[in-house]
Structure 1
Amino acid sequence: MNRDRLAGLLTCHNRCTKTLASLSALFAQEHQSEIAIDVYLVDDGSTDGTAEAVKQSYPQVKIIQGNGNLFWNGGMRQAFAEALQYDYDYYLWLNDDTLLYPNALSQLLATYQSLIQQGEHRAIISGSTCDPTTGALTYGGVVRRSRWRPLKFDLVEPSEQVQQCDTVNGNCVLIPREVAQVVGNLDSAFSHYIGDWDYGLRARQQGCTVWIAPGYVGTCASNDQSDRKDNFSVSPSEQLQQMAQPKGLSVQKEILYSLGEWKVFAQRHGGLLWPIYWLIPYRRLLWSSLMGSFHQVSSR
């Protein structure tokens, strides 16, 4: 019997224990007799022995060496590019800190098959994850907050039924061949964040649909900004320098992405009012800079 082929795509950097645990959960999936899994792991310049540990424990994993500057989007893009050459039936984005439940993959595949029966052949399936301690929703499918806030997204709690959404967090996402052939890879315009949101939104623009699988597929602790300091306390020049970095500038539980990357995203997905939506996140930073300049002038 010919089995469907799936490429598991991961990227990592100096999280050896978490990476090994994530791989362990992936290779322990139920019903593997029905699907053949190949794993592509980008080791983005780890110095903690991740690549060596993976080779020892999982010699079948295809390890791709990064230069240390790929971050999430760059690493996942490189893994995806390698796998796309071999025309898999499915591609699975998986964060290296996500621990799948044993039935996660069969649940994602079953969701896709049920959508095919409804005529949805180009469907992306998001798997929701919860906090390993509290059980609270951490990542999954998201929807636009409103038509007037098209670049603000809210997580959707999974239910017992499949649900449609606007786009996805990239922590656990099943992408069938039919979608990959249309949408292709993640966009190199993004370095760390928002490449996953962009992918789902571009997929919908090209006639694909995006869905949330029933229930939770695993655990993944939230990397929210609740413990981040208020970076308005540093100088405007330091704020701009930090904002230009791949992980952006964190302020008051939000992330200010680099102006260039956020501009690309806003232009594509913000509609006619995209310049306004592009600048809105930076309003406090701009006001702080203006006030700082005003005080300098007035104190002379």
Structure 2
Amino acid sequence: MTSVVVVMACHNRRDTTVRCLRSLVGQCPPEVSLRIVLTDDGSTDGTAAAARAIWPGIHVMQGDGALFWAKGMALAASAAVDYDFLLWLNDDVVLDPGALTRLLATHRALVGSGQDPLVAGALRDPLTGAVTYSGVVRQSLLRPTRFTRVAPAHRPLLVDTMNGNLVLVPRSVVERVGQIDGKFEHGMADFDYGLRARALDCAVWVAPGTLGTCAGNSVAGSYMDLTLSVWERLRLMRTPKGLPPRSWLRFTRRHAGPLWPAYWLWPYLRLAVGGMLVQSRRRVPRSARA
């Protein structure tokens, strides 16, 4: 019997979390056992009770509302025991029927390929069908912190790292790499994990096709929203869901090479200088522009 423990984190989006949990129903073939560990990060909308109604045996870890994704997932993973695989699953994912079977089959096909494989599942937008999350590859050696998302193919694809929305992590990889680094404030922990795995002679693959739906994050109201003032964008950039300096420092020091200080500083400098130039240009009357 193959044991899979699903690790998830949620906060105050009960209906979304419920849809995700319902999509797990029926995912297990007879030879697979499935358990779920969910970090409920201080939800006040009844998410935990709704989750227990769908999966009576679910193990709910309680957060204080300030964990965000990385810390929430790290807490959930810390409670996972006696498993052959962890399945990272974002609570806004709706799995296709048979998604888990396809991930496990991809892993079986890759065992013996030379490196210990973990397998990411690509996801698509529920309305447009466009790929929203997948594996990623570095753009070039000269831009070690810039990544390009890959579209899944009809065969497994080897990538540099991955989005953490849907990832099958075998125990053998966990024993080498450890768990998600909960010292990240929110994002970056998934890219960090894949890169650390690669450095320890593991391989990151994307399973064939897409395995479910997950809408991409909107830039509206984020630090990438060009309609906001540069000062508001800089404020948002420093929040956990932006590009928080401590987390970005942790990432660049690990993965950007000897020039990491420059890679750490560049996004903040680019936003500040570029944003001020754009605002200054907007204030100049059209008649006065060259």
Superposition TM-score, scaled by structure 2 size: 0.90
**Aligned twin of 1:159:** 153
Confirm or deny: 8 A CA contact 1:87 1:177 kept in the other structure.
no
Letter in 2 for 1:208: C
In structure 2, the gaps of 5 or more residues are 278-290
Matching residue within 219, 226, 230 for 1:230: 226
Confirm or deny: 8 A CA contact 2:122 2:152 kept in the other structure.
yes
Confirm or deny: 8 A CA contact 1:263 1:278 kept in the other structure.
yes
Matching residue within 61, 71, 74 for 2:71: 74
Output the aligned Cα RMSD. Answer: 2.1
Q: Distance in 2 between matches of 1:89 and 1:216?
A: 23
Q: Distance in 1 between matches of 2:221 and 2:276?
A: 27
Q: Residues 1-300 of structure 1: matches in 2 within 5 Å?
A: 3-31=1-29, 33-83=30-80, 86-120=81-115, 122-225=116-219, 228=222, 229-230=225-226, 233=229, 235=231, 239-248=233-242, 257-287=243-273
* Secondary structure of 1:48 counterpart: coil
Q: 1:81 to 1:286 in 2, by over 3 A?
A: same
Confirm or deny: 8 A CA contact 2:8 2:91 kept in the other structure.
yes
Q: Distance in 2 between matches of 1:123 and 1:188?
A: 22
Letter in 2 for 1:87: D
Confirm or deny: 8 A CA contact 1:30 1:102 kept in the other structure.
no
Letter in 1 for 2:255: H
In structure 1, the gaps of 5 or more residues are 249-256, 292-300
Letter in 1 for 2:258: L
Measured against aligned partners, the alpha-carbon deviations of 1:83-127 in whole angstroms (never above 9, x if no partner) come to: 1xx23100000000101111111111111101114343x211000
Measured against aligned partners, the alpha-carbon deviations of 1:117-160 in whole angstroms (never above 9, x if no partner) come to: 4343x211000000111110000111111111110111100000
Measured against aligned partners, the alpha-carbon deviations of 1:243-294 in whole angstroms (never above 9, x if no partner) come to: 332112xxxxxxxx11221111111101122122112211233426988xxx
Measured against aligned partners, the alpha-carbon deviations of 1:170-200 in whole angstroms (never above 9, x if no partner) come to: 1000000100001111112211110000000
Letter in 2 for 1:71: F
Q: Distance in 2 between matches of 1:138 and 1:188?
A: 24
Letter in 2 for 1:13: H
Letter in 2 for 1:279: L
Q: Distance in 2 between matches of 1:36 and 1:164?
A: 28
Displaced runs of 4 or more, over 6 A: 288-291
Confirm or deny: 8 A CA contact 1:189 1:261 kept in the other structure.
yes
* Secondary structure of 2:111 counterpart: helix
Superposition TM-score, scaled by structure 1 size: 0.87
| Identity across matched positions, percent | 45
Q: CA deviation at 1:226?
A: 5.9
Q: Distance in 1 between matches of 2:271 and 2:157?
A: 37
**Aligned twin of 1:295:** none
Instruction: Give the paired residue count.
Output: 277
Q: CA deviation at 1:202?
A: 0.6
Letter in 1 for 2:252: A
* Secondary structure of 1:246 counterpart: coil
Confirm or deny: 8 A CA contact 1:29 1:103 kept in the other structure.
yes
Confirm or deny: 8 A CA contact 1:142 1:169 kept in the other structure.
yes
Q: Distance in 2 between matches of 1:46 and 1:104?
A: 28
Confirm or deny: 8 A CA contact 1:140 1:156 kept in the other structure.
yes
Q: 1:105 to 1:20 in 2, by over 3 A?
A: same
Confirm or deny: 8 A CA contact 2:11 2:42 kept in the other structure.
yes
Confirm or deny: 8 A CA contact 1:6 1:35 kept in the other structure.
yes
